[in-house]
Amino acid sequence: MSFDEVEVIKERAEAFLRNAEHLIEVKEWDLAAFSLEQYCQLMLKYKLLVKSGSYPRFHSLRELIKRLEGYSPEIGVLIRGEEKLLYVTKLEDAYIVSRHLPRRYTEEEVVALYRFVRGVFSKVVSGV
């Protein structure tokens, strides 16, 4: 895969984060949660692609983190500790819940997810 193709994954991830920020502004909580999950998923796949030359075709954030941990052990901090694990699990659930289940996300949930993504997830992932 070429450098340009790899960068498309990263750019798409960053677009999902910008989209989540816009959706939060317009109070579209369900879609904002989905966009936050997509950002996280694509950033993990981007990092795996850079480090290994490929990435798996599954969607589980926890499994992607575990796979990436084989190349960058420090990424494992995202699934160690109850609070971080709960955030990652809530993001992972957003992939299915926001698309397929009749459950609505609240402002409080999405803002908390956004703070985790910006304050913890992004910083950890950028460091690997």
Q: Give pairs for 122-127: CB < 8 Å, separation 24+.
A: 122/43, 124/74, 124/75, 124/77, 124/78, 125/43, 125/44, 125/47, 125/75, 127/74
**Tens digits of per-residue pLDDT, 74-110?**
999 999 999 999 999 999 999 999 878 888 999 999 9
Complete domains list, the chain, with CATH = 3-126 (1.20.120.330)
Q: pTM of the entire structure?
A: 0.94
**Tens digits of per-residue pLDDT, 4-61?**
888 999 999 999 999 999 999 999 999 999 999 999 999 999 999 999 999 888 889 9
How distant is the alpha carbon of residue 64 from its chain centre? 10
